[in-house]
């Protein structure tokens, strides 16, 4: 087993199952999304103590605009509510918040609210919380390619910086998906090239610290070779 696992890893979660959680209880879908926000709080608070330094959450994809207008509007209100209610808690807990994805299609004032939240939490060092909103990995890659000035930029490191917008961002170590679905859904395709994948049947609103710990426990038992050979075989 690999001996030098990262002490502060990058975990990414595709938060899935809010609607099914609500339907199973005879509740409207927006109630499931509201419960999902509580799961975000639990997971964010548990992450630093479990060795996570960066946590990326997939909240709203570019394709989610195709959902019913009322549901999209409810999700945007929830995001606005989260920013207004949670920023002070994030600051107290040393959490830096950044949002990845497009901002030009967000409803009035929301992009500005995101910018203020990012500024207010910029000093956080306990956890880097990244929330993907109006995000598409393919669009991020295409956008990065469009910004390439010349062949000298076509290195993995340079291209990674363009795709992620963050020169210091480490690749995803562990990618978690809830609700039993087993696909990436256009999430962090570049950053997850060597991520360990963990799928759970737990619906996102029920996800908590114990579930995150279980996923991280599985991660730490895996052997990560990054295309190489296991240590004993390589030494033989």
Residues designated as active site:
16, 64
SS percent in the chain: helix, strand, coil, step 5: 45, 15, 35
Query: Cα dihedral sign for 130, 132, 137, 141?
Result: negative
What does R_g of the chain's alpha carbons equal in angstroms? 18
- Whole-angstrom CA distances from 80 to 22, 32, 34, 45, 93 are 21, 17, 12, 20, 20
Q: Around 145, how many Cα atoms within 13 Å sit in the side-chain half-sphere?
A: 7
How many whole angstroms from its chain centre is CA 39?
Answer: 13
């Amino acid at each position: 087993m690999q001996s030098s696992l990262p002490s502060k890893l990058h975990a990414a979660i595709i938060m899935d199952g809010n609607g099914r959680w609500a339907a199973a209880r005879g509740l409207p879908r927006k109630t499931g999304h509201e419960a999902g926000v509580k799961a975000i709080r639990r997971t964010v608070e548990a992450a630093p103590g479990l060795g996570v330094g960066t946590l990326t959450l997939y909240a709203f994809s570019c394709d989610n605009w195709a959902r019913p207008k009322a549901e999209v509007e409810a999700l945007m209100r929830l995001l606005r509510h989260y920013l207004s209610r949670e920023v002070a808690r994030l600051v107290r807990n040393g959490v830096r918040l950044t949002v990845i994805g497009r901002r030009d299609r967000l409803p009035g004032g929301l992009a500005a609210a995101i910018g203020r939240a990012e500024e207010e939490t910029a000093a956080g060092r306990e956890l880097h919380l990244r929330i993907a909103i109006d995000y598409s990995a393919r669009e991020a890659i295409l956008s990065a390619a469009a910004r390439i000035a010349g062949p000298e930029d076509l290195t993995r490191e340079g291209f990674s910086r363009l795709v992620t917008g963050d020169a210091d961002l480490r690749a995803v170590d562990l990618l978690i998906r809830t609700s039993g679905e087993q696909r990436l859904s256009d999430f962090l395709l570049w950053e997850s090239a060597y991520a360990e994948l963990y799928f759970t049947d737990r619906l996102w609103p029920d996800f908590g610290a114990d579930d995150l710990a279980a996923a991280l426990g599985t991660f730490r038992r895996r052997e990560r070779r990054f295309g190489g050979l296991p240590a004993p075989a390589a030494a033989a």
